[in-house]
Structure 1
Amino acid sequence: MTLTLYYHPFSSYCQKAVTALYEKGLAFEGKLIDGSEPVMSEFKALWPVGKMPLLVDDGRTVFEATAIVEYLDARFPETARMIPADPLVAVDVRMWERFFDNYIAYPQFRLLAPRIGQEVDDGGEKWRAKADTALAVLDAHMDGREWAAGDAFSLADCAAAPHLLYIDWTYGIPDHFRNVWAYRDRLLARPSYARALDEARPYRAGVPMNIPENRD
């Protein structure tokens, strides 16, 4: 049995799936989606929509990072769970995973838009305000907490790690959000995410983000 992941190491959503794979200790064959052949043809044949990541397991394809992590929990129940068995804690994990995708990542993407030649409404003021609101909510939530939901590292944290990294590079997390900064530091130190982040480093050249020194 070989798991195959079509992905790019710099993609935040791919990092979500890769971090879960490393948390679970699951080996996989990575196929880099960088526009080169024959991988692109394989990928498009399997998933014409063309969005990363895509997991293939014994002929079964699973698309979307969140679904991939859910699939891994179901497929390999003996490994560390990314979604807890307790259904109420599982709701919290899924809720906060959505928080990071919708309220941290989306403003970050909109603020990045002008740097890749796209227009952004109001000069980005609306998205800066939304980012500030989301970071304030997260800062309050993380007071006294180690991880985003429940007592263990979960799917929510797999989502948080790259999104908090990239919003700091794109916008800058204000210093007064001390709980967010402490949480971000824990995420960067987590071996599974640290490994995913190291694998993304060679692809930083030319990215339209301001990568601060000593902030990764």
Structure 2
Amino acid sequence: MALILYHGAGSPYGWRVWMALEHKRLDYELRVLSFDDAEMKQAAYLAINPRGKVPTIDDGGFTLFESGAILEYLDERFPQAPLLFPGTVERRALIRRKAREAEQYAAVALETLVWAVFYTPRERWDDALIARGREEFARELAYWESAIDGPGLAGAWSAADFTLYPLIALALRIERVRTDLALRAAIGPRLAAWMARVEALPWFARTWPQHWERGGLPG
């Protein structure tokens, strides 16, 4: 039986796991839940994830949520290459650190923009709050510009790349709604090149959110 991934289109956390499954070339069944219909809050889903969030995986009856824990599980459960945490013990520690940095800093900075733009009616947009969120996320983009170490963030493709990329892609998606954010302009050449390398991965297009437009850098 193929592993089941419960995902919500555009969720950077579910997308992170989806990219990991493709990277590891695993068989899986994708079940996309609707945010608009609040399917994450329905009893059937709450029975496997009482937090009511995505992602969740079901591996033959073993269910697991929280995307970081899922990535660790996938490497232990399916240790064949390619790995999400490859290399020496030092390299694996570096991957974990960078993935954690993306979760702790880039994702937290992005949350301000998500709530201030996506989940707030236009007539109630708080320009000062949005400007503050933009500044925080732009600082993260500047940090990651100098944090790339190889083709990926930490050498070979890893959990770190699949953690950060969806966050930046979502930020660019927000910029389509609030066009004065100018986040695309804040992406430096090294970070833009890294994003292009991610997008060139042979399986990448399969993971792109269906309701998002394509063309150039995602957004």
The TM-score, its normalising length taken from structure 1, stands at: 0.83
1:62 CA drift (Å): 1.1
What residue is the counterpart of 1:196 in the other structure?
A: 207
**Is residue 144 of structure 2 the alignment partner of residue 135 of structure 1?**
no
> Runs (4+) of structure 1 moved beyond 4 Å?
118-121
Question: 1:104 deviation in Å?
Answer: 2.2
Equivalenced residue count is: 205
Please give the alpha-carbon distance, in whole angstroms, between the structure 2 residues aligned to 1:121 and 1:98.
30
Where does residue 24 of structure 1 map in the other structure?
24
1:183 equivalent in structure 2? 194
Alpha carbons 1:82, 1:155 under 8 Å: kept: yes
Would the aligned equivalents of 1:8 and 1:32 in 2 still touch at CA under 8 Å? yes
Q: Is the 8 A contact 1:44 1:50 kept in 2?
A: yes
Q: Quickly say closer, same or farther: Cα 1:120–1:91, change in 2 above 3 A.
A: farther
Counterparts of residues 85-164 of structure 1 (less than 5 Å) = 85-115=87-117, 116-117=119-120, 122-142=128-148, 145-149=150-154, 151-164=155-168
SS of the residue corresponding to residue 6 of structure 2 reads: strand
Rounded Cα–Cα distance in structure 2 between residues aligned with 1:184 and 1:56: 30
1:67-98 deviation digits (Å, cap 9, x = unpaired): 11111100111231101252211111111112
Contact between 2:199 and 2:205, CA under 8 Å: does it hold in 1?
A: yes
Deviates more, 1:47-56 or 1:118-127: 118-127
The letter of the residue matching 2:10 is F
| 1:19 Cα offset (Å) | 0.5
Give 1:193 deviation, angstroms: 2.8
Q: Distance in 1 between matches of 2:126 and 2:150?
A: 35
What SS does the aligned partner of 2:146 have? helix
Normalization by structure 2: what TM-score?
0.82
How far apart, in 2, do the equivalents of 1:146 and 1:4 lie? 30
Unaligned runs of 5+ in 1: 205-210
1:148: Cα distance to partner? 0.4
Q: Which has the higher contact order (CA 8 A, sep 6+)?
A: 1
Contact 1:25 1:79 in 2 (8 A): no
SS of the aligned residue for 1:61 comes to strand
Q: Provide the secondary structure at the position in 2 that maps to 1:145.
A: coil
Q: Percent identity?
A: 26
